[in-house]
Chain A
Amino acid sequence: MTVSPQPASVRTLDTEPDTEPVLNKGGQGSELVGRSPGQLMWRRFKRDRTGMVSAVVVLMFFVVGLLAPVISWLYGKDPYTLYGQESLDLLDDFSFPTGKFGGMSGEHWFGIEPGLGRDIFIQLVYGIRNSLLIGLAVTAATVVTGILVGVTAGYMGGKTDYWLGRLIDFLLAFPSTLFFVAFMPVVVALFVSPEDETPTYVRVLALFLVLWFLGWMGLARLMRGETLSLREREFIEAAKVSGAPPWRIIRKELLPNLVTPILVQSTYMLPAAVTAEAGLSFLGVGLLEPTPDWGRMFALAGKVYENDPTYMFFPGVAMVIFVVCFNLLGDSLRDAFDPKAGR
């Protein structure tokens, strides 16, 4: 029999320079106090300056998204009012902002939207809110589905594994962006008759459903692989021999060892879901006017870019910062959880 590595819960106690057990000062002599893997991870993560900065920035996006109504109240504007029509000096005869840099001013921080004349700052705040919340819901659902399918396939093996594998193959053969675009009207038609006006929550639900449907396979494959390799390890066998029921083994022995890949993958999946939602709205099949949306701002920005290039600046820069920080955060999380993985 070959010597297999120890389970992760034991391995994390090894002698990394930053994981040395602390000496218990108050006690007699030197009593060793261990740290939980979570604590060790947090200690390593705190030292990673890039990771901390990205985490703060990412958090800011969530705060902006969640507190959008508060920001709107403080700022004194809402995303639906057509400010350009209310005071006629904001837009010129061609419906472009009169002021410099897209009409930026103390009143309208990021300028005025060409055409309708809404406030860009509050449009962006609400756009981030809508895209982010949809992306978050999609990520949560795909992660849960991925774990369920992947762990089931890996743990059960045999026929179950085979057929779940074929299901994944089948879904991976779908052209994904095209699928999202093509199935939006069909999914909407599930809930509302095409003759009627589609309420916004139905569009949101439809977006969620199509993005979820083709979003979980990557994680499921990863989970299956990890589960397969864990299943043969001694500590799982020990649990089996001592009569633990499968549910307990999955919950207490398997899942704690899967937390790292799940968390790391989720931080990569969330920006992907947000940009996918934004992409659909950009193409005109996501959220429709007048609901503010991050992606749809780019559709208008592309049309007016020749005459009003500043309109694209803030949504674009915000999106790049958002995706970069999420990717950096994912890398830092991976390093903090498993310093041996390296780059």
Chain B
Amino acid sequence: MLQFLLRRSIGAVVILILISAFTFFLFFSIPQDPALLACGKNCTPDAIKIIHQNLGLDKPVPVQYWNFMVGIFAGRDFAVGHCSAPCFGYSFANNQPVWNTIVDRFPTTLSLTVGGAFVFLLVGLGTGMLAAWKRGTAVDKTFSSVSLVLSSMQIYFLGPIVLGLLVYSTDILSSPKYVPFTENPGQWFVGLLIPWIVLSVIFTANYTRMSRSTMIEQLQEEHVRTAKAKGMSSRYVFFRYAWRGSLIPIVTIFGMDLGSLFGGAIITEQTFSLAGIGRLAVESVIKTDLPMIMGVMLFSAFMILLFNIIVDAAYAWIDPRVRLS
């Protein structure tokens, strides 16, 4: 088991290195002059010179990449100051090291994702299992058609509608904003409630459909039939046998969703103007802040790979066959 996880971690590190190299070389060697990209229209030669110095563009690209990678572990010195140990570069648009901005922004994304995931996992699994339990009845049909429509919704469409219903026309809630949990848990909860609802509505529908179909599949398995034939109560069979088996595909998708959400729920954050990692990415693309984009990219890829490994560990915990092989 430990060996298995170790092997997976090494694989993840290799992929991270490849992604960093790929992104770095695309950003810093494809445009004839990355400084021009960062500077944009109406650029003066002086400005270009400063960007060149700041980004270290006077050195060959492999050397720049090496400096970047070393900086992550050892820190780096820039003309503007020192950037300590996990140094993912220095953002000249924000005048601070990339890592500090990411650390500042991450709690927003973390809160958004954890709350949203809690809701969609709970509601999605619940409705999906209920639909499978009552297969073919009106309950099942209602859930299935509602989830079909909801899963076809877009966050940027549903978001304003919910805002309109709960904020603009009725004043039940105030506009969404992020208040740190440590500062005021109540306001943290109220401020993020609408984003959670909207984010989870879209995901819930997928989880309902998925858990319904895997549950139905599981209920037709032979071990479930055997258990029923032995005279176990159908409730016991449903939860102990079928549910456990249906977890594996759900854990896979859940891990993938969590990984990509932690790396920035871009559209949700943009819709509700929440300053998380996703919004940071969009802002830095619009400002063409190359070091920041690079840092966010690596951070998000790391999150995805981290959750892949967590999923693998969860497999082993759920399914003993994985542990043995």
Contact = CB atoms under 8 A, between A and B. Distances in A.
Given A173-B304, A305-B160, A324-B148, A189 B270 contact: no
Contacts of B288: 185, 194
A327 B206 CA distance: 12
A328 interface: yes
Size class of the B contact interface (CB-based, 8 Å): 35 or more
Interface stretch (B69-77, B80-88, B114-122, B260-268): B260-268
Contact of A284 (B31, B161, B286, B297): B286
B152 A302 contact: no
A320 B149 contact: yes
B55 interface: no
B47 interface: no
A169 B11 CA distance: 10
B32 interface: yes
Contact of A178 (B31, B39, B153, B296): B296
A186 B267 contact: no
A176 B270 CA distance: 16
Chain B, interface SS category? helix
Interface in B62-101: none
Contacts, number: 136
B40 interface: yes
Interface string A299-310: 101100110010
Contact of B297 (A175, A195, A305, A320): A175
B181 interface: no
Nearest to B159: A302
B266 A283 contact: yes
B148 A177 contact: no
B163 interface: yes
A315 B161 CA distance: 13
A99 B242 CA distance: 58
A193 B157 CA distance: 35
Contacts of B43: 195
A175 B160 CA distance: 26
B156 A178 contact: no
A185 B156 CA distance: 23
A169 B297 CA distance: 17
Contact of B37 (A185, A298, A305, A315): A185
B15 A175 contact: no
A42 interface: no
B3 to A, nearest CB: 20
A299 B301 contact: no
B288 to A, nearest CB: 6
Interface string B157-187: 1011101100010000000000000000000
Interface string A202-214: 0000000000000
Contacts of B296: 178, 182
A174 B19 contact: yes
Contacts of A174: 19, 301, 304
B301 A173 contact: yes
B31 A189 contact: yes
B285 interface: yes
A134 to B, nearest CB: 16
B148 A327 contact: yes
Contacts of A328: 148
A190 B300 contact: no
A324 B19 CA distance: 35
* Among A181, A183, A298: residue with most chain B CB under 10 A: A181
Interface string A225-258: 0000000000000000000000000000000000
A302 B278 contact: no
B267 A320 contact: no
B144 to A, nearest CB: 9
Contacts of B305: 173
B152 A282 contact: no
B275 interface: no
Given A186-B31, A305-B160, A181 B149 contact: no
Contacts of B263: 175, 178
Given A170-B18, A178-B296, A312 B160 contact: yes
B54 interface: no
Contact of B15 (A173, A189, A316): A173
B270 A282 contact: yes
B285 A185 contact: yes
A210 B23 CA distance: 13
Interface string A270-287: 010001001100111100
B154 to A, nearest CB: 6
Nearest to B23: A182
Given A193-B32, A194-B37, A305-B163, A170 B157 contact: no
B26 interface: yes
B30 A175 contact: no
A177 B279 CA distance: 12
Contacts of B15: 169-170, 173
A75 interface: no
6 nearest CB pairs, A to B? A175-B300, A323-B152, A305-B160, A316-B157, A189-B31, A298-B156
12 contacts: A173-B305, A178-B297, A193-B32, A195-B43, A298-B154, A298-B156, A298-B157, A302-B271, A306-B164, A312-B157, A312-B160, A316-B157
Given A279-B154, A312-B157, 18 more contacts: A173-B308, A175-B297, A175-B301, A177-B260, A178-B266, A182-B281, A182-B293, A189-B37, A194-B41, A195-B43, A278-B154, A283-B266, A283-B270, A295-B156, A305-B168, A309-B160, A320-B154, A327-B148
